[in-house]
């Protein structure tokens, strides 16, 4: 079962830096994330989701490959590739894996303009080593929501909010 963690920041840059640091830790097998999304709210109040993976692009590449393969069977690989890429991009645009987009947008409506948050869906984590690696974020964020056990949530809050 995965745990959801939502951390807000007073600016956009810290959220992107946290996501980059978590990605490095994932490569080092300290954390296993199912999804990680940065959500920002601009000065006009518009909420934007910055997904780690562009599903439209992934769908277009996969669809283009399968379309070309099917096109080879029917002796028209270029038409097959074009149709497949279009269908793949469309299906990628409408797929939603990981954290629900409507949930993230709804929570972000309460943000102040210029603020951001990182939504993290974690499968497994080596808690002490991850917190140690996130030392530069100590006292800079605020935990908005988690599905962690009470003691783990309190430890995370104390660390990120600088109260402990």
Alpha-carbon dihedral 23, 27, 28, 31, rounded to 10 degrees: 60
Number of CB atoms found within 10 A of residue 164's CB: 12
**Has this prediction a pTM greater than 0.75?**
no
Q: What is the CATH number of domain 3-51+100-161?
A: 3.40.1520
Number of CB atoms found within 10 A of residue 150's CB: 8
Would you write out the chain's pLDDT as a tens digit for each of its 164 residues? Answer: 688 999 999 988 999 999 999 999 989 999 888 888 999 988 888 889 888 654 444 444 555 555 554 555 565 556 555 555 555 554 555 444 567 888 888 888 888 888 899 998 888 988 888 888 888 999 899 998 888 889 888 888 888 887 65
Q: Which two tokens stand for residue 138?
A: 């100590």
According to the model, what pLDDT value does residue 54 have?
44
Helix 55-73 to helix 77-94 angle, to the nearest 10 degrees?
150
Beta bridge partners of 125: 31
Where along the chain do its domains lie?
3-51+100-161, 55-94
Number of CB atoms found within 10 A of residue 156's CB: 21
């Amino acid at each position: 079962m995965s745990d959801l963690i939502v951390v807000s920041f007073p600016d956009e840059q810290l959220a992107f830096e946290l996501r980059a640091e978590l990605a490095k830790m994932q490569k080092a097998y300290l954390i296993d994330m199912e999804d990680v999304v940065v959500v920002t709210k601009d000065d006009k109040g518009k909420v934007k989701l910055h997904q780690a993976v562009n599903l439209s692009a992934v769908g277009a590449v996969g669809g283009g490959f399968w379309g070309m393969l099917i096109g080879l069977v029917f002796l028209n690989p270029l038409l097959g590739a074009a149709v497949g890429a279009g269908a793949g991009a469309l299906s990628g645009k409408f797929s939603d894996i990981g954290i629900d987009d409507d949930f993230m947008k709804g929570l972000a409506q309460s943000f102040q303009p210029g603020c951001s948050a990182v939504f993290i869906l974690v499968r497994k984590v080596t808690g002490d080593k991850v917190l140690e690696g996130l030392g530069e974020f100590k006292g800079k964020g605020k935990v908005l929501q988690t599905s962690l056990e009470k003691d783990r949530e309190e430890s995370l809050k104390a660390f990120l909010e600088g109260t402990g």
